[in-house]
Chain A
Amino acid sequence: MHIEIDEISKEFGSTAALHPVSLAIPSGALVALLGPSGSGKTTLLRILGGLEFPTSGRVLFDGEDATALTVQQRRAGFVFQSYALFRHMTVFENIAYGLRARPRAQRPAAAEIARRVTKLLDLIQLPDIGARYPSQLSGGQRQRVALARALAIEPRMLLLDEPFGALDARVRKELRAGLREIHDTTGLTSVFVTHDQDEAMELADLVVVMSMGRIEQIGRPADIRARPATEFVKSFLSA
C-alpha cells in the first residue's frame, strides 16, 4: 500500500513534536525513520498507526484520505518497542487475538484461526512455542511473536517501533535478516523506527533522517551516506 504523509504536524500542549512534514512511501518499501530520541520519529509512526491524531495535515493510504480513520479501521500491524505481548495469554492466544476480536460475521472459525496461527508460527520459525507464556520467552522470541501477532490481522502495512531496541547485539543482527525476509515474503509496506544508523542503512530501502521534529533527508542508504544533505545528517552519521 502506498502511504502519503501530507504536511503532518503534531503539538503536545505548547511543544511541537512534529513541524509540518511530508513524505511519500512507495508500495512495498521497507522504510526506516532514523533519528535521535526526541526527533519525532515515534510520533510520526504512531500517527500512521492511528494511535495519535495529527494537529494538522493529512495521511493518505493509496490516495484515499485516512486521517480520520480510527486505529481499528487502519489495520496497521504494529510492533511495539517492548512488544506489549498480552502477558496473561499464551503465544497462541496472543497471535489469535486480532482474529478473535473481529466482528462475528468476519471472524474465521476456530479451526481456521488455529491453522493461521500455526502458519504464522512457522513463518517466524518458532513452530513449537504456541503453549508458552510471554514471560517464558527470550527477548528475540518475544519480538518475533509480536511480529506474528501483528501479521495475523492481515494488515495493510507493518509499523515497528524500535523493533530491535530491547535486544542484545548478536540477536539483533540475526533478527534484522529475519525482518527483511518477512518483509520480502509478505510484500507489506513497512516502516520502522530506529536510532541505530547501521540498522537503518543495512535493512531499509529508504531512510528518512529526522531531527527535532523535522525531516532532514530522505533517500536510499547509499545516497545518504554519499551525499548527506545537511550538517545534522553529516554529524549524525559520523557519530
Chain B
Amino acid sequence: MSDTHLRFRPVATEPAPVRAALILTSVAFLAVLLFAPLIVVFVEALRDGAIAAVASLANPEAASAIRLTLIVAALAVPLNAVFGISAAWFITKYDFRGKALLITMIDLPFSVSPVVAGLCLVLTFGANTALGGWLVGHGYPVVFALPSIVLASMFVTFPFVARELIPVMIEQGRAEEEAALTLGASGWRIFFTVTLPNIRWALLYGVLLCNARAMGEFGAVAVVSGKIRGQTATMPITIEMLYNEYLSVAAFSLAAVLALLALVTLTLKTLLEWRFADQLAASHHR
C-alpha cells in the first residue's frame, strides 16, 4: 500500500513533514510580524469606541496631517513615475559608458539612511546656505516647508518605479519599438502606443509601491519638515507626536487610517490584476 503511495508522489514534491514545517514557519512569521500588529493597530484605535476614533481624526491637527500626506504623495509619486520611466528608458534602450554606475546610483536611497538623506537636504537648501538663502529671499522656503517634504519623499522613493521597469524593459528589448519606427510612427507615438502599454503593469506596481512608501516615510521627513504641528507634520510624524503625548486613541486612529490607505492600495492592485488577468497573461508571452 505504502509502496504505491510512494510511487505516485510527484518527483518534485517534498515529503509531508517538510511541507508542513515550511508552511508553518511562513504562517508563523506572517502572524507575528504582519497580522498581529495590524490587528493591534485597529483594536487600539477603537478602544474607546468608533465615535472617539472618528472624533480624534476630525481634530484640525490630524486632518491637516492627512491632507499634507495626500498632497505630498500626489506630487512625489507622479514626479517619480516620470523620473523612473525616463531612467529606465535611458538605461535599457541605449548603450553608454557608466551605465552600471547609474544603476547603482538609482539604488542609493535603499542603502542610505533616510535621516542622512534628510540632513543632506537641510545642508543644501537650509536658510543659512547660499542656495537656500536665495530661495527664502525670493519667498520660496524649502526646508521646514512643503518643498523639502516632497523632495525627501522623492529621494526615498525614487528607486521603486525605475527598478520595476528596468528588468521588464530589458526582457522586452527594442524590437517592437523598431517595428513601430519602420511603420512610420514618431517617437511620441511609439512611446504612447507601444512602450507604455507594454510596461503598464510594471509601472503600476512601481507607482503603488512608491505611493505606499511616500505616504509612510518618517525619517527623512522628520529631519526636513521641522515637525510644525498643523503645517509640516505628515501622518507618520503626527502619529509619533500623539503617541509620545500618551494620546493613544488619536495616535492609533491615525495609524489605522495610514494602514487602511496601504490596504486600499493593495486591494486596488489585486482588483486590477483580477480584472485584466487575460491581458496580463498575454503580455507575458510573445
Contact = CB atoms under 8 A, between A and B. Distances in A.
A153 B183 contact: yes
Given A75-B184, A101-B185, A87 B286 contact: yes
Interface stretch (A28-36, A78-86, A198-206, A212-220): A78-86
Contacts of A81: 175
A102 interface: yes
A136 B186 CA distance: 28
Interface string A117-158: 000000000000000011110000000000001101100000
Contact of A88 (B181, B183, B282): B282
Nearest to A136: B282
A41 B181 CA distance: 20
Contacts of B279: 88
A113 interface: no
Interchain residue pairs A-B with the least CB separation, the first 6 = A98-B183, A84-B175, A78-B182, A101-B185, A84-B179, A135-B285
Interface string B188-229: 010001100110000000000000000000000000000000
Per DSSP, chain B at the interface is helix
A51 interface: yes
B273 interface: no
B197 A88 contact: yes
- Range for the number of chain A residues in contact with chain B: 20 to 34
Given A80-B178, A135-B282, A88 B185 contact: no
A85 B183 CA distance: 12
A71 B282 CA distance: 29
Given A78-B179, A80-B179, A102 B286 contact: no
Interface of A: 49-51, 71-72, 74-78, 80-82, 84-88, 97-98, 101-102, 133-136, 149-150, 152-153
Contact of A97 (B175, B183, B282, B285): B183
B185 A97 contact: yes
Given A77-B182, A82-B175, A135-B285, 7 more contacts: A51-B178, A76-B182, A78-B179, A85-B179, A87-B286, A88-B279, A135-B282
Nearest to B278: A133
A149 B183 contact: yes
Contact of B282 (A50, A76, A87): A87
Most buried by B among A49, A81, A84, A134: A84
A101 B180 contact: yes
B283 A84 contact: no
30 contacts: A50-B182, A51-B178, A71-B181, A72-B182, A76-B182, A77-B182, A78-B178, A78-B179, A78-B182, A80-B178, A84-B175, A84-B178, A84-B179, A86-B179, A86-B180, A86-B193, A86-B194, A87-B283, A88-B283, A97-B180, A97-B183, A97-B185, A98-B185, A101-B183, A101-B185, A101-B189, A133-B282, A135-B282, A149-B179, A149-B183
